Amino acid sequence: MTTTLNTLSSNTGSRKKKLRKGRGIAAGQGASCGFGMRGQKSRSGRPTRPGFEGGQMPLYRRVPKLKHFELINQKKFTIINLHKLNDFKDSEIVNIDTLVKKGLLFKPKFPLKILGSGDLNVKLTVQAHSFTKVAKQKIEKIGGTCEVIKNK
C-alpha cells in the first residue's frame, strides 16, 4: 500500500498529550502541580540558576582551586635540574637530543627548561627553551654558555 501526503500520520504512541497541571485535584497534578507544598523549588519562576548550591561555593568555582587540575593557558615544560648535567664532558653541547641519547629524558613532549637545583661542575654549552635565573647564573659562573631556543 502506498502512502500519500493526505494519508500520512504519526506512529501510535509517538506523540503524548501534554500534562495539564493545576486543573483541580481530580486531574492528578492539581493545586501544587507536583512541586510539593513549600520551599524555594515550589515557587513560580525558575527555582535557581544551574550550578547553584544554596550559597555554598559551587563546584565550577571550587574546581580550579583544587589539586590535580591543569591551569588554563599554562606553559608546560620538560624540566631537568643542573646537577644531572654533570654526566656530560667539558665543553659539550647539551640540548634535548643529547639528553635523550644519555637517557636523562624519555620522549619529551614539551620545550626544555633548565632548573637551578644542585651544582654544575662541567663547563657546558646548554641549548634550551628556558632557564631559571639561578640555573643561568650557575652555568655562566663556571664558564659555560646558555643559548635560548625559540619555540616553533
Query: How far is residue 47's CA from residue 50's CA, in Å, rounded to a whole number?
Result: 9
**Which amino acid makes up residue 118?**
G
Q: Tell me the whole-structure pTM to 2 decimals.
A: 0.56
Q: Which amino acid is at 149?
A: I
Residues of the chain with pLDDT under 50: none
Read off the pLDDT of residues 54-92 as tens digits, 9 standing for 90 and up.
Answer: 889 999 888 877 777 777 778 889 999 999 999 999 989
Query: How many Å apart are CA 62 and CA 83, to the nearest integer?
Result: 38
Please name the residues in contact with 100: beta carbons below 8 A apart, sequence gap of 6 or more.
106, 107, 108
3-state secondary structure of 31: coil
Domain ranges of the chain: 22-51, 78-148
Could you confirm whether domain 78-148 is CATH 3.100.10.10?
yes
